[in-house]
Amino acid sequence: MALIEFVDPVLGTVQMPDHADRGWGFKSLEGWFDLSSDKTERRERPTAHGSFRARRSLRSSLGITVEAHFLATSPAELVAEQDRIGALGADAPILMLVTDHVRTTEREVRVIDVDVPSYRGRKHNLITIELSADDPRRYSVGDEWVSARLREDASGGLTWPARWPLVWGTGSGSDGRLTLTNHGQKASAPSYRLYGGFSAAEMVRIDTQQRVGIDLIVPYGSYVEIDFRTRRAMLDGQSDVSRYLTWRQWWTVEAGEQVTVQAEYDAPGVGAYYAGRVRSAW
């Protein structure tokens, strides 16, 4: 059974299965599995056939249409639900999730239009919802963060003269590397969380030597999340600290590929670590 879900921060979650004897259901879903048009500018060769080769394709936003129906027990219940669906995404983008026979995927969408015909005293109505996804890719749901400790040098052993309590060193032998895998069929941008404390941090992609860093003092108990899709950095999910980003040599994880990075902190604390996540994309 297919299922459409809208997650609105104000209205909550609206579920629409493809078969429903009562409440919300959907009649058709258009655009969800489409590939949006290529918006890459073409430059024609003035003295040769064809155009100059484009290095990559850039996709436009994606339009999505849902035809939904509501089966109520009374006209009053129908009117109440029409009022609710008419406010869907009125103030901000919302999440849209679709469960098919293989997996559940989601997009952040903007509600362009909700067409609610007159119900004429009936207990059912057919409603059309027009949406737009600024990012045309659909993403996997529930991807977990993968964490790694920073690279630590081998222990120097016991110092002499010995003093109690004895300290044998804290080196764990960790290489500080973290690998992310995109199981989807389209490229996807990763996100990384750098946990304090440190005075500055830098990540290096091992195979290409691309770098992204941040020059910011982050105390214990706090973290900076760097989103490679939006190219922004947030401190504890609240404060935008993108102005402190350095290098800015962004990368993506190609479909079916892995990317390994290594992080380095300036003045790291004991047990310092970081984490990464990539959402498989279709």
Q: What is the pLDDT of residues 58-74, one digit of tens each?
A: 899 999 999 999 999 99
Q: What is the pLDDT of residues 5-50, one digit of tens each?
A: 999 999 999 999 998 999 999 999 999 999 999 988 888 888 888 8
Number of domains composing the chain: 2
Q: Do both 121 and 8 map to the same domain?
A: yes
* CATH number for 203: 2.60.120.860
Q: Do both 136 and 178 map to the same domain?
A: no
Q: Do both 188 and 242 map to the same domain?
A: yes
pLDDT of residue 204: 97
Instruction: Name the token pair of 228.
Output: 């490679």
pTM of the model: 0.85
Distance between CA atoms of residues 72 and 125, nearest Å: 9
pLDDT of residue 11: 93
Cα–Cα separations (whole angstroms), residue 62 to 30, 96, 204, 241: 11, 13, 33, 30
Q: What is the pLDDT of residues 250-277, one digit of tens each?
A: 999 999 999 999 999 998 877 789 999 9
Distance between CA atoms of residues 108 and 163, nearest Å: 59
Q: Do both 270 and 191 map to the same domain?
A: yes
Q: Does a structural domain hold residue 50?
A: no
pLDDT of residue 1: 66
In one letter, which amino acid is 195?
Answer: Y
Length of the chain as a residue count: 282
Task: Annotate 27-84 with DSSP letters as a single string.
Answer: EEEESTTPPPPB-PPP-B-TTSSSBPPPSS--BPPEEEEEEEEEE-SSHHHHHHHHHH
The domain containing residue 96 runs over which residues?
3-42+56-140
pLDDT band at 152 (very low <50, low <70, confident <90, very high): low
